[in-house]
Amino acid sequence: MTYDYFGNTSLRVKNLLYNFESQLLLFEELFHNADEAETWANDSNLQLQYLELLEQHNLLESKNKTTHLGTKDARVKSAPLEDYNLIKRKDKIITTQGYELLSLIKNQSYKIDNEFLQIDLISLFFLKVTLNFSKSPFLLQKYLEVFRAFGGSLSLEIFMLLPLINNFENTADFIRQIKNKTIFKSVLQQNANYLQLDNFLNDLQNNSLNTSYFKTAKGEKNCPKYH
């Protein structure tokens, strides 16, 4: 089952602009001081340096730290900036869009409205970059199609279904399934685990152990031991 949405769990609406600005400035410092041989890779020195910068500037809440996972926090925290094409971590550069956002913030463009669209210039910037969201191309356009199909507003129930949109061949099919109230049935029928449900229940009834039902992307080695 596929879930497509903007950002990740580290991306919160609260303090979003401050978060992006602070990280861009930290990456500017990090990239400027990095040696040519340094690379952005799992648990690399460059990621460790960035993790330390996040901690020094209070951009990483202690309760959310995952120290046992190495530099994962550095990757997760900065991933939205790359998804919005503000940085290229492996190339160690701030993109043109990244510098454009810094310039808009410096000029307090959140106080200046675009007269035609009646939104401030920072909001206009994010609307523009969201159209080219690299993690899931055309996702905003698909979301907007759904809004249009329902008269410009969505119920909470339909809004919460939006991340499932790429499980369908096209947006029209997604909308049709919502209107026909068949969306859950359609999604579950595509899910291999759900299709095994009858087999699982039968094995459970017969006390037949089959750990393959519980395997993860890493295989069966992490399956719980039952006796």
Give me the residue spans of the domains in the chain: 16-128, 138-189
Residues facing 114 on adjacent strands: 119
Report the C-alpha dihedral over residues 199, 201, 207, 212, rounded to 10 degrees. Answer: 50
CB 88 within 8 A of CB 28: no
pLDDT of 100 above 60: yes
In single-letter form, the type of residue at position 126 comes to: F
Long-range contacts of 209-218 (CB under 8 A, 24+ apart): none
pLDDT band for position 189 (50/70/90)?
confident
Which ranges constitute the DSSP H helices of 57-138?
A: 72-83, 96-106, 121-130
CB 1 within 8 A of CB 167: yes
Higher pLDDT, 6 or 154: 154
Report pTM.
0.70
Which phi and psi angles does 119 have, rounded to 5°? -135, 155
What's the CA gap between 68 and 105, in Å, rounded?
A: 35
Instruction: For 211-222, write each residue's pLDDT tens digit.
Output: 776 666 555 555
pLDDT of 227 above 50: no
